[in-house]
Amino acid sequence: MDQANTLTGKNAMVTGGGRGIGYAIARRLGKMGARVAICGRNSQELNNAASRLRVEGIEVFAPVADITHGDQIKALVDEVQRELGSIEILVNNAGIGIFGALQDRTEQDWDSVINTNLKSVFLVSRLVIPEMIRKKSGYIINISSLAGKSTFAGGGIYCASKWGLLGLTGCMAEDLRSYGIRVSAICPGSVATDFSPHTGKDTSKMLQPEDVAYAVAALVTQAPGSFISEVQMRPTQKP
């Protein structure tokens, strides 16, 4: 299906958009015609990503922000709306992973993962939602993980963040559907990025960032009478 220009005139914001899955999502939305804001903590990474996107003709804005801090998020959303206009597509993609047996982890480990993977979604979304309510339309897509559906040794903090994110996503969807706002979660398995080591795995058989971006594109081009609450993604072959 040709999706070129299907988002012309729309504004999207992708958190953690400087690399990996976030960059692939921003690129896909931009190629579909959207103006895209990408944010993150690393200015050089963001600037490099923005330059690559502009070469492809994508209009991009790349402000630096730490989305675990409410004051920085308020400044970020205000800045994006001044630069691009109302945020009509929000992709909460930023995430980190700290792994290991629970008894070996620290309170700081817990706070870092939960604040980035879960709290930030609450903080960013609640500032973007009022304008979506005013316009009675919008998409919020939360990038979760199959770790939000299962457990594994050493994954306690990460799994807790992603299970929590799925619960939050479901409740947001119920809160907002009557306003014409569609909230969805995407749960990929392991994706071939530098997010975590993939020792012993064939990365060519893993999910690719572009696979997740394809799912985002499908969600934001769905007919208006319905929405997909959750997408689970797995590679065709086990790596």
Q: Which domains does the chain have, with CATH numbers?
A: 11-233 (3.40.50.720)
Given the structure tokens 């020792």, which residue do they identify? Answer: 199
Return the pLDDT at 202: 81
Compute the distance between CA of residue 217 and CA of residue 71 in angstroms, rounded to an integer: 30
- List, in order, residues 6 or more apart from 58 with CB less than 8 Å away: 26, 27, 30, 31, 36
Known catalytic membership, residue 158: yes
pLDDT in tens, 124-138: 999 999 999 999 999
> Which of 61, 76, 196, 173 shows the shortest CA–CA distance to 124?
76
Compute the distance between CA of residue 171 and CA of residue 178 in angstroms, rounded to an integer: 13
Compute the distance between CA of residue 228 and CA of residue 78 in angstroms, rounded to an integer: 29
Compute the distance between CA of residue 77 and CA of residue 69 in angstroms, rounded to an integer: 12
**By three-state DSSP, how is residue 124 classified?**
helix
- The whole model's pTM is what? 0.95
DSSP states of 156-199: HHHHHHHHHHHHHHHHHHHHHGGGTEEEEEEEE--BSSSSS--T
Q: What's the whole-number average pLDDT of the chain?
A: 94
Q: Which of 23, 139, 158, 179 is catalytic?
A: 158
Tokens of 79: 């800045």
Buried b (16+ CB within 10 A) or exposed e, 207-233: bbbebbbbbbbebbeeeeeebeebbeb
Residues pairing with 89 in the sheet: 12, 139
Residue 144: pLDDT band (50, 70, 90) is: very high
Tokens of 88: 């009509």
DSSP symbol at 56:
T
Return the pLDDT at 198: 64
pLDDT in tens, 93-111: 999 999 999 999 999 999 9
pLDDT in tens, 14-72: 999 999 999 999 999 999 999 999 999 999 999 999 999 999 999 999 999 999 999 99
